[in-house]
Structure 1
Amino acid sequence: MNIEQVRFNMVEQQIRTWDVLDTDVLDLLHVIKRETFVPTEQREYALMDIETPLTPVSKTQKMWSPRMEARILQDIALDGSEHVLEVGTGSGYLTALLAARSNKVTSVEIDPALTAFAAENLRRAKINNVSPHTGDAAHGFASAGPFDVMVFTGSMEVVPEAALTQLKAGGKLFAIVGKAPTMYAKILRKSAGGMITERTLFETQVAALENAARAPAFIF
């Protein structure tokens, strides 16, 4: 198998056709090798249009599909100056993409085995502007904030108010909001005056973030 040909096909057939047209993002996918961020047992699936399992490191967690990672990277439009919070490190691949496009990434993972796995992947890839942590950041990570950009890699029923308070004026927060089977990828922006606006990007469905915020129940 010619891995570079497979990578080219991934970029051109999976990703570009999903409205990812930013050449800097597309070029980065050739530089940061996705297959080096997955367990050895899963490498043959790393460039496929699927959510890549992270077994045996994690029995439950999966990476987003390559096109999802690329689309989010394009839509949050980093300029290289930002301090980014990533909630849900996973394999560290999206972390690496974010780090390549920003000044610093603070990444928090609730599963210590995945934190260690991601940290080693990032070390081997010579990504040195990431601060990895193990913990529960479903409502943000105030001790390292405030942040220019926040990226939540699991879904939530609502965006927690606590997370929005950790966002700088002018900042952006990416989240997948809703309940299965209806979820939407959204970017929320905080104005200089503290007003929150949101833009819906697309409909999708991903696993819920552990301990994610829930919508208040209706009481009759």
Structure 2
Amino acid sequence: MTTGRDLPGTNRFVGQRRALIEKIRERGIDDLDLLRRFDEIPRHLFVPQGVWPRAYDDTPLSIGFAQTASQPSLQAHYLRILAPKPDEKVLELGTGSGFLTALLASMSDRVYSIDRVRELSNRARKVLDDLSIRNVALMVGDGTIGWRKYAPFDVIVVSAASPSVPPALIDQLAEGGRMLIPVGDRESQKLVLVRKDGFIVSQEELEGEVRFVPLLGRFAFQDEG
């Protein structure tokens, strides 16, 4: 994987990128290896050029198609909780901008990422290719049914809100696997950490409220209404 230091605008945003890392540290995330990944992967390349000046703000950004790129400190929180390992396989629901996809790819063996918006998937594919990130497979479709062909997954990352945990995702979680998913209504959710140990599946509701775009599909919200 290349860090993209010779790609457009990379040197221009060095100061902003370092400032973002400090903001993530201020939120209690001090894992140096994780912070290094936020420094090496250029977030601005994953968002529309019109919002490049805000690419390293610790805030969600609009990426079109009624979708957002999640707040970086929240993504760091996800990664700290799930802690993907170099030999693990990851399923991501909601490719979106592809920035979290790239972070996951830098930490794990293989990432399988699904998005329902073809244009976003294509855009993410181009940036991942430009950065020589080769261990990612993308699919356009209903993420709530998972990607059974490549199951089971050690880690499942859901970047959209669901009214409940989709049963297909629990089925595709590996022994000892973990999943993080925002669960609630369309306005407010709690992060739920799902673990599978043998025949026992546990669900732990984490502290704090979050707000994500809705997860649409067979086992989540059914439409945009």
**2:162 paired with 1:152:** no
Please identify, of 181-190 and 61-70, the stretch whose mean Cα deviation from structure 2 is larger. Answer: 181-190
Q: Secondary structure at the match of 2:101?
A: helix
Aligned to 2:36: 27
Q: Which whole-Å CA distance do the structure 1 matches of 2:25 and 2:149 have between them?
A: 38
Alignment root-mean-square deviation, CA = 1.7
Instruction: Tell me how many residue pairs correspond in the alignment.
Output: 210
- Summarize the alignment of residues 27-176 of structure 1 with structure 2, pairs less than 5 Å apart: 27-54=36-63, 58-176=64-182
Q: Which whole-Å CA distance do the structure 2 matches of 1:173 and 1:60 have between them?
A: 25
Structure 1 residue 189, shift from structure 2 partner: 0.5
Aligned to 1:11: 21
Aligned to 1:218: none
Is the 8 Å Cα contact of residues 112 and 137 (structure 2) preserved in structure 1?
A: yes
Pick closer, same or farther for the CA change 1:181–1:59 going to 2, 3 Å.
closer
Structure 1 residue 154, shift from structure 2 partner: 0.3
Q: Which whole-Å CA distance do the structure 2 matches of 1:45 and 1:210 have between them?
A: 28
Is the 8 Å Cα contact of residues 161 and 186 (structure 2) preserved in structure 1?
A: no
Is the 8 Å Cα contact of residues 172 and 188 (structure 1) preserved in structure 2?
A: yes
Structure 1 unmatched ranges of 5 or more: 216-220
What is the TM-score with the length of structure 1 in the denominator? 0.90
What is the TM-score with the length of structure 2 in the denominator? 0.88
Aligned to 1:177: 183
Structure 1 residue 180, shift from structure 2 partner: 4.2
Q: Secondary structure at the match of 1:12?
A: helix
Is the 8 Å Cα contact of residues 128 and 134 (structure 2) preserved in structure 1?
A: yes
**2:206 paired with 1:197:** no
Letter matched to residue 189 of structure 1? R
Which 4+ runs in 1 deviate beyond 6 A?
A: none
Q: Which whole-Å CA distance do the structure 1 matches of 2:35 and 2:137 have between them?
A: 25
Q: Which whole-Å CA distance do the structure 2 matches of 1:86 and 1:207 have between them?
A: 15
Q: Which whole-Å CA distance do the structure 1 matches of 2:27 and 2:134 have between them?
A: 30
Structure 2 unmatched ranges of 5 or more: 1-10
Aligned to 2:5: none
Q: Secondary structure at the match of 1:154?
A: coil
Q: Which whole-Å CA distance do the structure 2 matches of 1:181 and 1:36 have between them?
A: 29
